[in-house]
């Protein structure tokens, strides 16, 4: 059997960690909706610590042995100059709460903090200025009161084909996407993060309601930039 290169193995781990980390995106929301400890009674750090322990246990129980898939970052070139930084902002006109919400390009160790403060760009996936990319962004369904994560993707299921999604990069370039697909997947569907041949797309992920057992994905295709 051909051995995986170090870089190949790292991308595989990145993909697996990302998917199973997001398996816990609904834990906070489940606690709040099911009558758990109110957010006001615990500091965010304590809540995050509790969630981390649950996620770690869930992670080790849930990794399928068959997963050998990777997320291949499309580095075939760019249509425009690469911006100074990788931070993005997301705006979805059809969703009142999603207006210039920060999207952080955080390392895996920083996902929890990024998800507390806004949205996270999954490492190993593309960026809008690349020729072929799947810009994969994840966020909480419920989130934390008083932060940009609060109910940020609560209404994500309301998006329909033709709705617009805007991403703005660090240099102010705005990329306009049009929704073409909405689907529900299982938490171990790693292939959803791969780029689509010949296309530049954005994928928005959150948890399904009411039990947070699956992932809701909304995808849009790039239609223009300015």
Q: Which residues pair with 221 in a beta bridge?
A: 178, 201
**Residue 7 is inside which H or E element, if any?**
helix 6-21
Contact present, 141 and 154 (Cβ < 8 Å): yes
Q: Beta strand 200-207 with 215-225: parallel, antiparallel or unpaired?
A: antiparallel
Spot the catalytic one: 48, 116, 207, 214.
207
207: annotated active-site residue: yes
Spot the catalytic one: 48, 116, 121, 140.
140
- In 29-132, at which residue ranges do the beta strands (DSSP E only) sit? 88-91, 101-104, 119-121
Rounded Cα distance between 84 and 192, Å, is 28
140: annotated active-site residue: yes
Measured CA angle at 211 (ends 205, 214), to 5 deg:
35
- The catalytic residue positions are 140, 207
């Amino acid at each position: 059997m051909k051995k995986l290169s170090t870089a190949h193995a790292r991308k595989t781990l990145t993909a697996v960690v990302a998917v199973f980390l997001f398996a816990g995106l609904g834990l906070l929301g489940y606690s709040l909706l099911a009558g758990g400890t109110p957010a006001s009674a615990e500091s965010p750090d304590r809540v995050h610590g509790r969630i981390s322990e649950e996620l770690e246990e869930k992670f080790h129980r849930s990794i399928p042995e068959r997963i050998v898939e990777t997320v291949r970052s499309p580095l075939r070139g760019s249509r425009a100059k690469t911006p100074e930084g990788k931070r993005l902002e997301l705006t979805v006109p059809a969703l009142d709460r999603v207006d210039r919400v920060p999207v952080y390009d955080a390392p895996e160790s920083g996902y929890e903090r990024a998800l507390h403060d806004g949205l996270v760009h999954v490492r190993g996936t593309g960026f809008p200025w690349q020729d072929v990319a799947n810009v994969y962004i994840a966020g909480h369904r419920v989130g934390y009161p008083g932060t940009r994560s609060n109910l940020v993707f609560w209404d994500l299921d309301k998006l329909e084909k033709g709705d617009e999604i805007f991403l703005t990069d660090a240099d102010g370039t705005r990329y306009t996407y049009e929704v073409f697909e909405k689907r529900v997947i299982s938490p171990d569907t790693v292939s959803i993060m791969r780029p689509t041949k010949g296309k530049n797309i954005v994928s928005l992920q959150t948890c399904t309601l009411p039990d947070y057992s699956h992932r809701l994905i909304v995808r849009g295709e790039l239609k223009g930039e300015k």
